[in-house]
Every structure is written in C-alpha cells, then in structure tokens.
Amino acid sequence: MNGYNFAYLDEPTKRMIRRAILKAVAIPGHQVPFGAREMPLPYGWGTGGIQVTAAILGADDVLKVIDQGADDTTNAVSIRRFFSRVAGVETTTRTRDASVIQTRHRIPETPLRDDQILVYQVPLPEPLAKLEPSRAETKQMHALADYGLMHVKLYEDIARFGHVTISYDYPVMVNDRYLMSPSPIPAFDTLKMNRMPALQLFGAGREKRIYAVPPYTTVRPLDFDDHPFALIRAPHACTLCGATNSYLDEVVTDDRGGRMFICSDTDYCADRRGDAASEGDAA
Amino acid sequence: MTLPLLEAHDLQLNFGSIRALDHVSMALWPGEVLAIVGESGSGKTTLLKVLSGSESPDHGQVLYRDPELALHDVHAMAAPRLRALHRSDWGFVQQNPRDALRMGVSAGGNVGERLMAQGARHYGSIRSSALDWLREVEIDPQRIDDLPRTFSGGMLQRLQIARTLATHPRLVFMDEPTGGLDVSVQARLLDLIRSLVSRLGLAVILVTHDIAVARLLAGRILVMRRGQVVETGLTDQVLDDPQHPYTQLLVSSVLQA
Amino acid sequence: MMNTAGHPMLKTHGLSKSFTLHLQGGTTMPVLENVELTVNSGECVVLSGPSGAGKSTLMRSLYGNYRVGQGSILIRHRDDWVDLAQADPRRILAVRRDTLGYVSQFLRVVPRVPTIEIVAEALTIRGADHAEAITRARSLLLRLNLPERLHGLPPATFSGGEQQRVNLARGFIGGHPILLLDEPTASLDAINRDAVVGLVAEAKAAGTAILGIVHDTPTRDAIADRLFKLYPAQMAAA
C-alpha cells in the first residue's frame, strides 16, 4: 500500500519495539517499557498487540487474529484486514497454518508449535495494580520478588468464598521469578502457557509495556498447597462439535431461557466438525 | 555475657543546617525495651528511621547481629536483604495503624500477609496462625474476616501489633504506639504490649514523647534534644533523679494525674 | 534476737549523694555524706534520724533509683559483689530481679492489670510458673487481709492501705535475699501491721537481709534488730 512502510510502523520504531521484545524474552515475565505509538484504532482495541505484531511480521508470515477465540468478530476481522492491507501478508483462520497469532482473551485449543508466535493484547500489564496502586511500590515488589500481597488476594477469596474466585487474568509465576498477568484469558487457559513450545509475547499499548514468555518456560498459577489451582469449565459438551475438553461460550438462543454451549475457539470447533475454515476471511 | 542485638556508632545526620542526629551511639540487647524520649523535633523519630534502615546517616554505622551472631551493617545491606529482615526478624509498629494495615483486606489477611511474604503457602496454617494472633491481641477471632475499617482505633493498633508479631520478630521498632488513642484504650494497649514483650522476649526500641509510657514499658531510656542524647540510663533512675537540665525540665513538665 | 550467723549482704562505703537543681539556678543540695552501712543476712536494720536526714534518699540510692555521687554500694548478687553505684543499667535490672526487692510507699503499675497478676508478676519475671505464682500471690494477699473479691480488680481504685498491701505482697512474694522497705506500714491498721511483722520475721528466719524506714514505734520495735542513725548533711554553702 502506497505511503506506508511495510506493516505500518516505520523501521526505527520497529527496531525500538524489537529491542524491547529481546529484553522481554531475556527476562521472562518482566515488564519492559517501550515507546508505544499512536495507532489508527482506539486504546483497548489491541494497540499494544498490533505494535508487537507489526514489529515481528515478515513478508512470508501467515497471520491469524482471534478475539475471544473467534476469528469472525469485529476486532479480529479489522486487525486481520489492517495487516493484510499494510503488510500484504497472508492471513488464515486455521491455527495450525498460522505463523503469528494475535489474540485477545484466549489461547487456541489446538496446541501451538515452536515455529509459531502468540501475541497477546494486554489492557493492564501490572498484576499487582488492583492491590497496590503505587507503581513505585509494585516495581519494588517485582525487583525483590516480594509477592506476598498477591497471595493475600487469594487468601481473601478463600476466606470469603471458599475458593479462589479469579476466573480470568489469573496471576502466574513465570520461570519461578516474576509474577505476571497472562492478560484477560480465562483461568481455563492458564495451564496452556506452561512450557508452551511457541514464543508468547504480550503488548500493552496504553500502558506502554511489553513482556514475554520464551518457549518451554515454566508458568505456574499462584495457589496454596491446600487449595491448589483448579480448572474451571462449564460442565457441558459443545452443542456443535461435542467437545468436552474445550472452553465454552454460553449462547442465549431465545427469550424463554433457551441456551446452548459452544466452543469459544471457532477454528477448533469447525475443525472437529470436519468443515473448512469459516468464511469470514474475505479481506 | 550476651552481645547487643543492635548497635549504633556515632550517627550523624544533617538536614541542611539542622542537626537531626549529632554523634548518637547506642546499643540494644536481646529482650530489652529501650525508650527514646524527647520533644517533637528532638530527632527521636529520625533516630528510629536510621536505626531501622529506612533513612541513611551522613556518618556512622548501625550494626545488627543476627541469630547466628553475624554482624550486618544495616545501611550497607542490599535492599532485598533489608526488606527480608523487616519482614522476618524485625517488626515496625507505626503510630497510625492505617499507615501499616491494608484497610481493604480482612483482619486475617492483614495478619497473614507477613507470613505469606515469608513464603507460607498453606492456607489452613496461615489462617490458624492469624486466629492465634488475634486472640493474642484480644481481638474476637470471629472478626477474622472483617475489614479493619469496621474496627475501633484501639483494635486497629492491636491488629497492627498482631500483624507485626506474626513472624516472631526478635526486634520491634515502635513509633508512638499509643499516641492518638483515648486514655482508657491506651492503658489496655500498654498492658498488652508489656505482657507480649515480656512473654515473647522481644527487644523493643520505643519512640515516645510520653514519659509515663516510657516508665511503664522500658527498662532503659535515652533522652534526646536537638539531635543529641543528653542523658541515658535506667528508666526510673533517669526519670526520678534526672541529671541533665533538659531532663529535669522534661520530667518536671509532666502533669501529675 | 540478733542473728549471729549472718554475713554481709549489703555494704556502703563513703556513700554521698547531692541533688543539683538546674531549674533553680543550679543549686546543689547535699543529702547524704559518707554513709557507712552494712546489713547482714537474717537481720533487719531500721533507719532512724530526723525528717530530712535522707532516709528515703538512701533507700532509693540503694535500689539504684537515684544516682550516687560518690562512694560505693556493694550488693551480694549471687556469688559476687556488685557495686550498684558503678553498674550499668542492665546489671542493676538483673540485681533487682534476682537479689534486691523493694517495697515503696507508692504503687506504680500499668492501669487495668488485676491485682493478683501484679503480685504474681514479681515471681514470674524470675522464671516461676504462672499458675504457681498466682497461687502464692493469692495466699499472700489473703494473709495481708486483702479479700479475694479484690484480687481480680486493678488496684487503681483501692484505698491507700489496700494499695500498700498490694505493694507488700509484691515485695515479699519474690523471696529476694535483700529487701528494702520504705515505710511499709505507713497507712496500715494494727491488724495489718501485725501481718507485716509476721512476714518480716519469716523473711529474716529465711536469711533475708532487710533494711527499712519504719515510723510507727510498735512495728519498729517488733522488727528491728538494730537502728542505723542518719544525720542531715551539711549545706555546702552554709
């Protein structure tokens, strides 16, 4: 596309972002500040993820974008179109065909390989922010690996409700060193991060932070010895494909209480039904 | 002969032209309560900050002797070690419990935080320890899940003490722990501190402007004025037979109830 | 009833004490001059002398409550002699805990603490079992005619005589080898004075060295083995 550099960002900006990514990979789970640019979409729509994707995208990459597991939602569609226009890269909805997957709020059900990169859109990179408002203090806590406060939050949940009530953005320890927000993915997805063969990159545009989990890195959800982390999943099979191991969305079908549960990962569901990938990818 | 737990040698600290600490030396032995008294601006709170490592002196040393008797220069310690020390062997009781407590976290969570910061990862034992400490400071264990903002001032201070003592520190710094409380509440707190200190064998450095508090809690006393230690010794001796003009003035200024 | 088997427990040499009043232009008031006093185990020495002769000042100096100007105060502490005039504060506290007991005229305690705990504490700080200390505190308080219904109350609201008996119980329960009694019977009636006389006799029989200020003659005659007379010190400028 005329008038734009490949993948929208200028090369010096990409180099700056790549340097931040390299640093993030070198210190797994550590939030690296970067000079986030204004992007042609509002904050909260994935400006951090887009900048990371733009910085790592090559001409022969195949890009997949999902939002809440689906390839056909507005956010996913517009970001996919954006890169297909400004970088001319091939796009796909099939997890196994993609070399770069940008995601909002999910990890694909299909296990990722070591030749793939998963880019997360992150609204609030600081896992301690809700508990400790001072950024100076949370920086200190990270520096000293002093995470008792996060356990206090888990303690409060168990004391009040009998179990940990965090159902998404479940805090994890990366490489047994840094406490990290996995972005607002469901707690169900948390264990997929552990020793994942694919590189995981996290971009927060408004907060101007990048962090990473290199391939095969330990990622453990925080828990207590006597209240271990437990997967939460709706006790149903997918109405469409019958899967009993996938994360489900509840869909209300009428105004008389009718509802069904279907896979949140549309590609996974379609794949199980033997269909071709869904047709939302016209751009 | 036991060795001191904490030693300060020739501490000096100036804030511009103000001498906050002027050649101050002291030592504290295990199990002993030392009161630092003086008027506001005398340097007693500054001394507490320097002794506890949160403020650095211009000159001089503070040495801490750990349970294995190794000496550590408090101000040369790496930040993580000093912080770990503050969360294990040491404790700090602030005048305003709201500065130390997490007001949005339950009483149990407040007591448990120090344990969790030390690596405790068993919910059941953290909770039972929190219950024990609430009982210890005379807070109804049934209130373990209540937020501190529903507590009275005296209860808040007792909660802060429970939180501080949960990791069984050997040395506790207290900054006006009974300040700002009603007289009757103060009496109860004094009694509580006194019995905990003697039963747990705590060493305490207590900053107070209230010499009656010093008399009841401290075996030894250090009188400060304009950054200098003007008199030090056995508490009742210093208060009943003060030698320095300033101490005589301080003692004679106290209203008799 | 001289106890000839007694050995020295407390000795002073050249003990002098004066007060410098900085708030009154630095006036110096000499109170004690060259006091030479020995108290043996198993004997009770009572200080005599006119008012202003420094009896209370001497008692307080012997307890380490007042700082001594010159001379020495030797206390038999365990198997050593400790000079209280020179000892550091921690040493003085150790001597007070294990060797030197004191019954003052005033009760100075933490408000709110029950009477029985105040008395028992004097024993538990020396390592005694709490339950046993409570038992002994109770019997001592009863012996001093302080009824059981008062034991659970803080002494702040007690009458002067009742407070005095709490003080006495606290002084006697520890079984210190040396006991200083500063007007122990000042506000007591005859029955309670007799109880004190009994306690002193028992302590002496157990080998305690006792030094007292006792103003009421019957009690003094009953407990004193000998008197030690103090004279007012000369005013320096006079």
pLDDT the model gives residue A196: 98
Residue A207 lies in a domain: yes
**Whether residue A255 sits in one domain with residue A185:** no
Average pLDDT over chain B reads 93
Nearest to A159 among B87, B108, B122 (CB): B108
Query: Are the Cβ atoms of B243 and C20 closer than 8 angstroms?
Result: yes
Same domain? A250 vs A214:
no
- Residue A148 in any domain: the answer is yes
Q: Locate the chain A residue with the closest alpha carbon to B81.
A: A144
ipTM over 0.90: no
Please choose, from the candidates B67, B75, B52, B61, the residue with its C-alpha nearest in 3D space to the C-alpha of residue B25.
B61
Judgement on whether residues A25 and A71 belong to the same structural domain of the protein: yes
pLDDT digits 0-9 by tens, B34-67: 999 998 889 999 999 999 999 999 999 999 999 9
CB A178 within 8 A of CB A30: yes
Nearest to A155 among B79, B118, B126 (CB): B126
Q: Poorest-confidence range of A111-115, A233-237, B183-187, C167-171? A: B183-187
> Both A207 and A256 in a single domain?
no
Does residue A259 lie in a domain region? yes
Predicted local distance difference test score (pLDDT) of residue B187: 84
Least confident span in B1-5, B113-117, C166-170, C218-222: B1-5
* Nearest C-alpha in B relative to C94: B219
Say how far apart CA A221 and CA B157 lie, in whole Å: 34
Host domain of residue A190: 11-221
* A183 & A49 share domain: yes
pTM metric for this prediction = 0.87
Note whether A149 contacts B: Cβ–Cβ < 8 A.
Answer: yes
Looking at residue A282, what is its pLDDT?
A: 39
Is residue A4 a part of any domain in this protein?
no
pLDDT at position B28: 97
Q: Check whether residue A211 and residue A245 sit in a common domain.
A: no
| pLDDT given at position A275 | 66
- Domain boundary among the residues A221, A242, A266 is at A221
Which CATH number covers residue A140?
Answer: 3.40.50.11310
Chains that touch C (3 or more CB pairs under 8 A): B
Q: How far is B227 from chain C (nearest CA, A)?
A: 21
Reference A49, options A185, A168, A163, A172; nearest CA is A185
**A2 in any annotated domain:** no
Contact B80 A144 (CB under 8 A): yes
Spatial contact of A147 and A221, defined as CB atoms under 8 Å apart = no
pLDDT band at A257 (very low <50, low <70, confident <90, very high): confident
d(CA B145, CA B136): 17
pLDDT at residue A233, rounded to an integer: 87
Q: Are C211 and C45 in contact (CB under 8 A)?
A: yes
Chain B residues contacting C via beta carbons under 8 Å: 29, 32, 187-188, 190-191, 194, 198, 215-216, 219-220, 233-234, 236-237, 240-241, 243-245, 248-249, 252
The stretches of C55-189 forming alpha helices (DSSP H) are 55-62, 89-98, 115-124, 130-143, 160-173
Does one domain contain both A69 and A90?
yes
On whether both A63 and A174 belong to a single domain, the answer is yes
Torsion of CA C126, C156, B240, B93, to 10 degrees: 70
Sign of the CA dihedral running C143, C149, C153, C159: negative
Inter-chain residue contact B233 with C67, CB threshold 8 Å = yes
Count how many domains chain A has. Answer: 2
Residue at A6 is within a domain: no
Q: How far apart are CA A190 and CA A171, in angstroms?
A: 9
Is B166 exposed, middle or buried, given 0-12, 13-18 or 19+ CB atoms closer than 10 A? buried
Mutate to test the interface with B, among A142, A152, A160 (most CBs of B within 10 A): A152
Chain C residues with beta carbon closer than 8 angstroms to that of B233? 67, 89
User: Within an 8 Å CB–CB cutoff, is residue C89 touching chain B?
Assistant: yes
Chain A CB within 8 Å of residue B61 CB: no
Q: Are residues A96 and A70 in the same domain?
A: yes
- Record: contact B234-C20, CB cut-off 8 A: no
Chain B residue with Cα closest to A144 = B80
Query: Quick one: pLDDT at residue A279?
Result: 46
- B105 part of contact set with chain A, CB < 8 Å: yes
Q: Is C22 on the interface with B (CB under 8 A)?
A: yes
Instruction: Judge if A188 and A264 occupy the same domain.
Output: no
CA distance B204 to chain A (A): 25
The closest alpha carbon to B133, from B156, B106, B161, belongs to: B161
Domain presence at residue A65: yes
Structure tokens at C148: 């059981």
Shared-domain flag, residues A210 and A247: no
Size of interface B-C (CB pairs under 8 A): 53
Structural domain ending residue among the three candidates A200, A221, A242? A221
- Say yes or no: A32 and A157 in one domain: yes
C78: left (phi over 0), alpha (psi -120 to 50) or beta: left
pLDDT band at A281 (very low <50, low <70, confident <90, very high): very low
Q: Is C113 an 8 Å CB contact of chain B?
A: yes
Distance, in angstroms, between B78 CA and closest chain A CA?
10
Q: Note whether C89 contacts B244, CB cutoff 8 Å.
A: no
| A22 falls within a domain | yes
Residue A248: pLDDT above 50?
A: yes
Please give, rounded to a whole number of angstroms, the shortest distance from the CA of A129 to a CA of chain B.
14
H helical segments located in A31-182: 47-56, 74-86, 135-143, 148-161
Sequential pLDDT tens for chain C (238 residues): 444 568 999 999 999 999 999 888 888 999 999 999 999 999 999 999 888 889 999 999 999 999 998 999 999 999 999 999 999 999 999 999 999 999 987 777 777 789 999 999 989 888 889 999 999 999 999 999 999 999 999 998 898 889 999 999 999 999 999 999 999 888 889 999 999 999 999 999 999 999 999 988 999 999 999 999 998 876 543 3
Instruction: Check residue C105 and give its pLDDT.
Output: 78
